[in-house]
Every structure is written in C-alpha cells, then in structure tokens.
C-alpha cells in the first residue's frame, strides 16, 4: 500500500472521542498519548509502517507515551474530556483537545 493510500485509510480512522469512550482501550493498555507538537496522522503512518527508528525517537523525547497515572486520574474525573483519536490496530493514539 502506498503512503498516500495508507494516509487516506488512516484519515478515515481519525475522529474526536470523549474519554468515556476511550476507557475500555485504556483498560487493555492500548492508548498511546501523542504530544500536541506531533501530527497525529504522521505518527499513525509511522506506527503502521513499523518505522521503529522514528517511533523510538518520539518515545525517547517523551512525545509518545502511555498515559500516566496523573493523566488517567484527571481524565477519569472528567469523562467528557475530548481527544483527537486515531485507531492504528492494536493501538488508539490520542491527543488532548485544548478547551476553547
């Protein structure tokens, strides 16, 4: 599959989600938090392409991480918290939406 086709497919998997909808994914340890300075679609493509070098740099720079206990506590206290979300099996990549 070309990068263009992969990006188109992943774009279809992107949506906005409330934390309440993401809890089951967090319970199975499948949620990955993507830092705001990264493009969610670019991260999804790198993971789907198994680009371990690029992904490892983001992990090392703390731009990709599993949610911390502090984050989980905050989000559990606000189940309507909104995220941009992208499914890249078996993961759900999320970026916090900034309240307007």
Which pLDDT belongs to residue 62? 96
**Is a pLDDT exceeding 80 seen at residue 99?**
no
Phi, psi of 81 (to 5 degrees): -55, 135
Which pLDDT belongs to residue 44? 96
Domain ranges of the chain: 3-96
**Bond prior to 64 in cis (omega within 30° of 0):** no
pLDDT one-digit tens code per residue, 45-89: 999 999 999 999 999 999 999 999 999 999 999 989 999 999 999
Averaged pLDDT score across all residues of the chain: 94
- Listed in sequence order, the residues at least 6 apart from 80 whose beta carbon sits closer than 8 Å to its beta carbon are 18, 19, 20
β-sheet bridge partners, residue 73: none
Confidence of residue 23 (pLDDT cuts 50, 70, 90): very high
């Amino acid at each position: 599959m070309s990068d263009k086709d992969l990006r188109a497919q992943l774009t279809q998997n992107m949506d906005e989600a409330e934390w309440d909808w993401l809890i089951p994914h967090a319970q199975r340890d499948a949620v990955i938090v993507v830092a705001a300075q990264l493009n969610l679609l670019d991260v999804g493509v790198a993971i789907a392409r198994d680009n371990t070098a690029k992904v490892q740099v983001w992990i090392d720079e703390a731009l990709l991480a599993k949610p911390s206990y502090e984050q989980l506590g905050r989000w559990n206290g606000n189940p309507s918290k909104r995220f941009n979300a992208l499914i890249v099996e078996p993961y759900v990549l999320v970026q916090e939406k900034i309240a307007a």
